[in-house]
Chains A and B, each alone.
Chain A
């Protein structure tokens, strides 16, 4: 056994009141905890663990860490050792380091992003409960996002210095954490430079993804919706809230996902996306997007890149 899914993401926000309005009224999350340091913990209606997003007050925007949940403590021990064997230092964090969360192992990805693994978190249950549940709760708000689905991280790449931490991350996630690659974007002579990587540890097209950039950072955190209809409604919610939309509703070539990109009040990019896409399996042939079709890979309908999508990140 091993990694199950993304457990939570911790990000910096510059105005907590505005951030809370956004994650509650636009995404539809609920606050489940606030700690003494002013950090706020939120949960989507269809999640059962106590929180999937941690907002930390800061004078900056951007990424703190991402944590993935694993099946049990045996897996936590085994994976921590695999990370050490890979050559990456691991720090053990005792239970309660984060509220309502069991012990964690903490390490940095080759790209420098902080990652944690944990096996236990307090369970509140989904908003529809587990006994004869309704398909959705009466108090759904905003886009009514089901759950935090994945994040896309920008990984430092500098071809002139021979640095590609995206590829370094890929190898680490496959070898040490047992993820498998579902899609890649390659450019350059003979497609020899990989600039995007999509990895799964489930049957979803991606549980984490990486894209190359000048410095490491956060491209987006993503929330799951059911269908194209929900995407339209989410865009209406964003308009009502005067949310800055980055990319209006469209489809990705990569993952086949139906999507909207937008910014939270600190400039951290969010995504609401819908559709299973396809069933990712370890024996499914790797999908490759080539340099001449990069526009189509991200923006399937227009085939053109949206400038802010490929330049702006925190």
Chain B
């Protein structure tokens, strides 16, 4: 289990090392990171890792995270598992289709 801290809101939750940052948050019913397709395709769970290290565990659509961004610690929370205590910043958001 690793602590995951959201830098901007000071929200914190505990995430298992075998579950993704997003899955851990969803399991606890928390809402601090936007939840979309949970499969790396839609981009709403985009985060920047400020402190700590993660393991990438699946492909992320290059529409939403470029290789350059990824090299700077930007990734989709549904595609990363924590390897240490994590501090992150939420970049993605739920942008409404006009309904």
Contact = CB atoms under 8 A, between A and B. Distances in A.
A195 B98 CA distance: 7
A308 interface: yes
A308 B35 contact: yes
Interface residues of A, number: 36
Nearest to A245: B38
B40 A185 contact: no
Contacts of A154: 97
B80 to A, nearest CB: 15
Nearest to B40: A267
A157 B95 CA distance: 13
A216 to B, nearest CB: 11
B72 interface: no
A185 B99 CA distance: 8
Contacts of B44: 311-312
A305 B94 CA distance: 13
B97 A313 contact: yes
B28 interface: no
A154 B99 CA distance: 11
A59 B62 contact: yes
Contacts of B35: 308
B99 A195 contact: yes
Interface residues of B, number: 22
Nearest to A266: B41
Contacts of A196: 99
Contacts of A264: 39
Contacts, number: 99
Given A269-B37, A308-B35, A314-B42, A211 B61 contact: no
A268 interface: yes
A314 B61 contact: yes
A214 B61 contact: no
Query: Main SS of the interface on chain B?
Result: loop
B27 interface: no
B41 A62 contact: yes
Interface string B71-99: 00000000000000000000000111111
A255 B79 CA distance: 36
Contacts of A185: 99
B38 A310 contact: no
Given A14-B59, A60-B61, A267 B97 contact: no
A225 interface: no
B37 to A, nearest CB: 3
A305 B36 CA distance: 14
B63 A62 contact: yes
Given A61-B39, A266-B61, 17 more contacts: A14-B59, A15-B59, A60-B61, A61-B42, A212-B97, A214-B95, A263-B41, A264-B39, A266-B40, A267-B37, A267-B38, A267-B61, A268-B37, A310-B97, A311-B34, A312-B94, A314-B37
Q: Which 9 residue pairs across A and B have the least CB separation, nearest first?
A: A267-B41, A61-B41, A267-B37, A14-B59, A312-B36, A267-B39, A213-B97, A311-B94, A263-B37
Interface of B: 34-42, 44, 58-63, 94-99
Interface of A: 14-15, 59-62, 154, 157, 185, 187, 195-196, 211-214, 219, 244, 246, 263-269, 294, 298, 305, 307-308, 310-314
